[in-house]
Amino acid sequence: MTKFNIKMQRELFDFLNTDLQFIKGVGPVLAARFDDVLGGRRVLDFLLHIPAYVRAREITENITTATKGDVITIPLLVKSHKKGGAFRGRRRPTQISCADKMGNAVIIQFFNVNFLDYWLKKLPIGEWRMVSGKLDHGTRYIINHPEFIEEMQNADKIPSAQAIYPSGEGLTQKTFAGVRDQIFAALSDKLLNAEPDMVEFFDALRHVHYPKSDDDLMSNSQYIVKLAYWELLAHQSAIVISRRNRTDVRNRRTVRPQKHELMSRFYNILPFSLTGAQTRTIDEIFSDMSHDVPMMRLVQGDVGSGKTIVALAAAIKMAEMGGQTALLAPTDTLAQQHYAKIKPMCDKIGIVCDILTGRDKGAVRREKLISVRSGRTKIVVGTHALFSEDVEYKDLGLVIIDEQHRFGVSQREALRAKGNNPDVLALSATPIPRTLSMTIYGDMDVSIINEKPAGRLPIKTTKLPITRVNELIARLKPQIDSGAKVFWVCPLVAESDISDMTAVQSRYDELKKVFPHAGLVHGQMDKKQRDNIMAQFADDTSNMRILVATTVIEVGIDVPRATIIVIENAERFGLAALHQLRGRVGRGNMQSFCILMYGQNISEIGLKRLDVLTKTDDGFQIAEQDLIMRGTGELLGTRQSGWINYHFVDYAHHRDLFRLAASAARDMDTPSQTICDLMFIFDRGVNICA
């Protein structure tokens, strides 16, 4: 590389690292919303977030040829405005009456009266406008909140193939398109003298962000295949480097002295006997812990298989050997839950256990930190706040990571670098087919808990068409009246589609008529508010016995009295995701039920997929089936594996790429510039290229 090239390369990466708030028209508020949706707020995070599908906006002249749910683009003559507002305590929408070229009446409707004048100005009476939106009609033709309204001479501003990004509240598809356009305009300069590999990489990315049709977004599209290979190459390289680092003789440690007092107390206070799989897993962990190569182990076990006690055994063992343990949970709620379970046992054993989350402030926090620094606290439970700078450990020997899918190789590496090469134990309830687990978790050793504690009843699972929803509600009533708790899940899949959100809301409104204490949580709620409602639902003294939720109900949340879960539009979820959701119930000893409701458009294969769930409870088998039953060349945005969240890789269709990338990484001596760049891009940077 010439000097000039190096400078250009740096400019490119500086740009990729730029905070989205500095993109024109974004600012801090939108940047924060992007952060929620993208899981990051850099230009790069945006680039890795690809459209879910392409929406064709066919121009229609005659509204009667379109059917409900179609997205149409249609020239309309504006006839009259009727402002909405509150009326006898009810909100009435603003309605704009129009006519199409054939003279058919079409109504444009706005529910939100903010910016109303703006919309009315865009639709002046007596003029033609090109309008684009989703058709929703009963007896009349209605377009709610059209996405585009253009003067006739600007009609071509409405894209005929519109990329639809997975989104969240407060981010419209127009915002996405605007940011995308700016980013790619700026990128073309920065790529002028970049490495050829990088030019090729961003070119493929551009095709994906400007798809001509769904074909460009399918797992077998040439662009996706390229990007997926690079992504796997980055990941596999990181795995190889990480494993080499960990096992390097220079990183060997002195084995801690073995004692046996605390562990025997632990076994004495156990309220149950361990399953065979738990015992085997604990043995594997203890053997790692007494080795001079630090542990890097993943424990996989279905929901309810009893991973917490295994983790606790490891933590007590570490205390016995003189070290401290940090137990990292993905959310405050889960941290609290772990703490509530672990603390009483620690008290009995006689070791100090504490919790540390973002909520701890001031003197309380200071005191907790002092106890951790002095080494008095042996086990500290918390969220990633456990690794903020002000948290100092006396001797951090073990880090346990529960259900953190985004905890990638680089984060694990960063941990290893913190302190004296602590042992790392990751817990996951997401079964992964054995055939994949080596390539995905290649830097970790894997223990599998494939046995449930005795006495667990399998969850009775049935499928039911949505047309029978009222019958279902009627049958829930006596159950709920006699104390059962019900999760009612509605999917909120791709974009911030207003219709999805209204579906959740109207289901909630409907259920509230029958169950006045019903609760509602969704991802666009304030986190505190959400936690609050979750806590109410978990509380056995509260009247909230039915909780309507989008998929935000957390992995691992434990509400033992929840015995029924209803999943609407089950066909829109992956099997693994459904199995995960189902695991929210069946956690106590009572018989639990899962009802998979499906929509009218379900395909035959869709029904077969649901059958897998009604027939088996074994997460590993379901994961295998999930892989097998996927169609070829599926849309990337619609897959939810729950395993490692790759951006471009499709487990079912990119098996060959896995093999290719793994062997390229194995043969690697020192990583090339391209591999370093790719590891940076995919955030698997193992910090050896710096």
Closest-by-Cβ residue to Mg ion is: 556
Sheet arrangement for strand 460-465 = 460-465, 593-598, 562-567, 485-489, 546-549, 519-521
Nearby residues of 376 by Cβ (< 8 Å), 6 or more positions away: 352
Between residues 78 and 342, which has the closer beta carbon with respect to ligand ADP? 342
Q: Which of 385, 393, 254, 424 is nearest to 323 (CA)?
A: 393
The entry of Mg ion, ligand ADP, none that residue 180 binds, CB within 5 to 8 Å by partner kind: none
The entry of ligand ADP, Mg ion, none that residue 274 binds, CB within 5 to 8 Å by partner kind: ligand ADP
Interface with ligand ADP in residues 406-435 (CB under 6 A): 429
Q: Which of 92, 156, 93, 99 is nearest to 123 (CA)?
A: 99
Q: Could you say whether residue 303 binds ligand ADP (CB under 6 A)?
A: yes
Between residues 115 and 272, which has the closer beta carbon with respect to ligand ADP? 272
Q: State the nearest-atom distance from the C-beta of 426 to Mg ion, in Å.
A: 12
Length of the chain: 690
Q: Could you say whether residue 275 binds ligand ADP (CB under 6 A)?
A: yes
Q: State the nearest-atom distance from the C-beta of 327 to ligand ADP, in Å.
A: 12
Q: Could you say whether residue 274 binds ligand ADP (CB under 6 A)?
A: yes
Between residues 129 and 587, which has the closer beta carbon with respect to ligand ADP? 587
> What is the distance of C-alpha 303 from the center of its chain?
17
The entry of ligand ADP, Mg ion, none that residue 199 binds, CB within 5 to 8 Å by partner kind: none
Half-sphere exposure (Cβ direction) of 411: Cα atoms closer than 13 Å: 13
Letter for the amino acid at 509?
D
Q: Are strands 423-428 and 460-465 parallel, antiparallel or unpaired?
A: unpaired
The entry of Mg ion, ligand ADP, none that residue 642 binds, CB within 5 to 8 Å by partner kind: none
Interface with Mg ion in residues 536-595 (CB under 5 A): 556
Do the Cβ atoms of 357 and 383 come closer than 8 Å? yes
Q: State phi, psi for 664 to the nearest 5 degrees.
A: -60, -40
Do the Cβ atoms of 570 and 597 come closer than 8 Å? yes
Sign of CA dihedral 15, 16, 18, 23: positive
Q: Could you say whether residue 277 binds ligand ADP (CB under 6 A)?
A: no
473-478 long-range contacts (CB < 8 A, ≥24 apart) are: 473/510, 473/511, 473/514, 476/546, 476/564, 476/566, 477/514, 477/515
Q: Could you say whether residue 523 binds ligand ADP (CB under 6 A)?
A: no
Q: State the nearest-atom distance from the C-beta of 580 to ligand ADP, in Å.
A: 11
The entry of ligand ADP, Mg ion, none that residue 305 binds, CB within 5 to 8 Å by partner kind: ligand ADP
Q: Could you say whether residue 272 binds ligand ADP (CB under 6 A)?
A: yes
Query: Can you tell me which residue has the tokens 């986190």?
Result: 527
Q: Which of 432, 460, 449 is nearest to 304 (CA)?
A: 449
Among 301, 382, 397, 637, binds ligand ADP (CB under 6 A): 301
Residue 678 CA to residue 680 CA, distance in Å, equals 5
Q: State the nearest-atom distance from the C-beta of 626 to ligand ADP, in Å.
A: 19
Q: State the nearest-atom distance from the C-beta of 457 to ligand ADP, in Å.
A: 13
From the list 124-132, 272-280, 411-419, 627-635, the region that binds ligand ADP by CB under 6 A is 272-280
Residue 599 burial (10 A CB sphere; 0-12, 13-18, 19+): middle
From the list 192-200, 299-307, 487-495, 498-506, the region that binds ligand ADP by CB under 6 A is 299-307
The entry of ligand ADP, Mg ion, none that residue 275 binds, CB within 5 to 8 Å by partner kind: ligand ADP
Between residues 362 and 455, which has the closer beta carbon with respect to ligand ADP? 455
Q: Could you say whether residue 300 binds ligand ADP (CB under 6 A)?
A: no
Instruction: Give the number of other Cβ atoms within 10 Å of residue 332's Cβ.
Output: 18
Residue 74 CA to residue 65 CA, distance in Å, equals 11
**Total chain residues near ligand ADP (CB under 6 A):** 16
Q: Residue 436 belongs to what H/E stretch?
A: helix 434-440
Q: State the nearest-atom distance from the C-beta of 305 to Mg ion, in Å.
A: 9
Closest-by-Cβ residue to ligand ADP is: 306
Q: Could you say whether residue 330 binds ligand ADP (CB under 6 A)?
A: no
Query: Can you tell me which residue has the tokens 């088996």?
Result: 616
Among 305, 325, 410, 580, binds ligand ADP (CB under 6 A): 305
Q: Could you say whether residue 431 binds Mg ion (CB under 5 A)?
A: no
Between residues 334 and 492, which has the closer beta carbon with respect to ligand ADP? 334
Q: State the nearest-atom distance from the C-beta of 307 to ligand ADP, in Å.
A: 3
Alpha-helical runs (H) found in 75-195: 116-122, 173-190
Q: State the nearest-atom distance from the C-beta of 429 to ligand ADP, in Å.
A: 5
Q: Could you say whether residue 294 binds Mg ion (CB under 5 A)?
A: no
Instruction: Give the number of other Cβ atoms within 10 Å of residue 526's Cβ.
Output: 8
Interface with ligand ADP in residues 451-470 (CB under 6 A): 453
Nearby residues of 267 by Cβ (< 8 Å), 6 or more positions away: none
Between residues 435 and 589, which has the closer beta carbon with respect to ligand ADP? 589
Between residues 96 and 315, which has the closer beta carbon with respect to ligand ADP? 315
Q: Could you say whether residue 304 binds Mg ion (CB under 5 A)?
A: no
Q: Could you say whether residue 304 binds ligand ADP (CB under 6 A)?
A: yes
Interface with ligand ADP in residues 196-255 (CB under 6 A): none
Nearby residues of 149 by Cβ (< 8 Å), 6 or more positions away: 119, 122, 123, 129, 130, 131, 132
The entry of Mg ion, ligand ADP, none that residue 489 binds, CB within 5 to 8 Å by partner kind: none
Do the Cβ atoms of 84 and 93 come closer than 8 Å? yes
Do the Cβ atoms of 387 and 393 come closer than 8 Å? no
Rule CB under 5 A: which residues touch Mg ion? Answer: 556
Rule CB under 6 A: which residues touch ligand ADP? Answer: 272, 274-275, 278, 301, 303-309, 429, 453, 556, 558
